[in-house]
Amino acid sequence: MQTPENQELNDDELFEHHRVIASKGQEPLRVDKFLMNFIEYATRNKIQQSAKSGHIWVNGTIVKQNYKVKPNDEVKVLFEHPPHEFLLVPEDIPIDVVYEDDVLLVVNKPAGMVVHPGHGNYTGTLINALLHHVKDLPTNSNERPGLVHRIDKDTSGLLVVAKTEAAMTHLAKQFFDKTSEREYVALVWGNVKDEEGTIEGHIARNPKNRLQMHVFPDGDEGKEAVTHYSVIERLGYVTLVSCKLETGRTHQIRVHMKYIGHTLFNDERYGGDKILKGTTFTKYKQFVDNAFKILPRQALHAKTLGFVHPVTGETMRFDSEIPQDMVECIEKWRHYSHHSS
């Protein structure tokens, strides 16, 4: 009988849920702490339980939770069942369909809805809803049905979904070639200096916090990312801006705006859920806390989406209303800046 200490990896019986290669500069670090930096929504207790059950492997061998990860180690989390994101179940969840024909549909996703299943979110996602709405969605290169692009859980707004393989290929090429139009509206901390500008800087995972992305201006890591922004309205300690994406990297607007010193309002992951600009008065702190309650998420909405129809060749352009939570928060700041100026 094989024990956890001598058992060798048998890929036929186990399914890989996570795989991380430690960097060349990795300092010795317990594997449970190491995985905490990579697995979203995981608790240390859950990771330790996985280790005790023999589900954590390093370089092909099961390790205990106190194993010290070294440079270039290959760390895997394996279970006897396939990842939940591959067990896609149609769910009768209402979706706001803005447009639909035989080859595609455009949906307006509410804030709080995860786009596709993943660790910690296996049901209630947009994909679960789409599978109920449309039969036989094509899968993209990541085995995710219908998705041409995605937006974060707490970002609201427009997404195009492909219903055929040909539409998927055609639309994906437009996004890759940067010919699609994607405009977001964001409320950011601080008075943005220039009326408009372009932010360029490669984006990759933050080596110190793997749940964040990070800008590498020298381009030595990550993928090229370009965001064009313009000021819509100045509201004292915050600014309402339009952001047009040339590329579509994970957290692109959130990390690019932080990079130029204007973190999104109430963006918890990037520190925008703290008072970053303004006075030290208690009344102001209460005002901001109330604004956070009105808008309990990052202030970001995918407002406009444009692309060429894969079949007709027609230019399609869709616009969406800014959701009520953002509207109320903007109104609150508008009132505050008007009365404090």
Catalytic residue positions?
Answer: 152
Tell how strand 156-162 and strand 300-308 pair up. Answer: parallel
Region at 185 (left for phi over 0; alpha for psi -120 to 50; beta for the rest): beta
Beta strands in the chain (DSSP E): 15-21, 29-30, 56-58, 61-62, 68-69, 74-79, 97-100, 104-109, 156-162, 181-189, 196-200, 202-206, 209-216, 226-235, 238-245, 300-308, 315-319
312, 314, 325 from 332: Cα distances, Å: 44, 40, 11
CB atoms under 10 Å from CB of 52, counted, come to: 12
Could you tell me the two tokens for 26?
């990795």
Residue 223, burial from CB neighbour count under 10 angstroms (0-12, 13-18, 19+):
middle
CB neighbour list of residue 141: distance below 8 Å, 6 or more residues apart: none
Largest Cα–Cα distance in the chain? Answer: 76
CB atoms within 10 A of CB 222: 16
47: three-class secondary structure by DSSP: helix
The partner residues of 121 in beta bridges, in order of sequence, read: 118
CA-CA distance, 138 to 152, in Å (whole number)? 21
Distance CA 211, CA 203 (A): 13
The torsion defined by the Cα of 86, 87, 88 and 93, in degrees rounded to 10, comes to -130
Count of other CB atoms within 10 angstroms of residue 47: 22
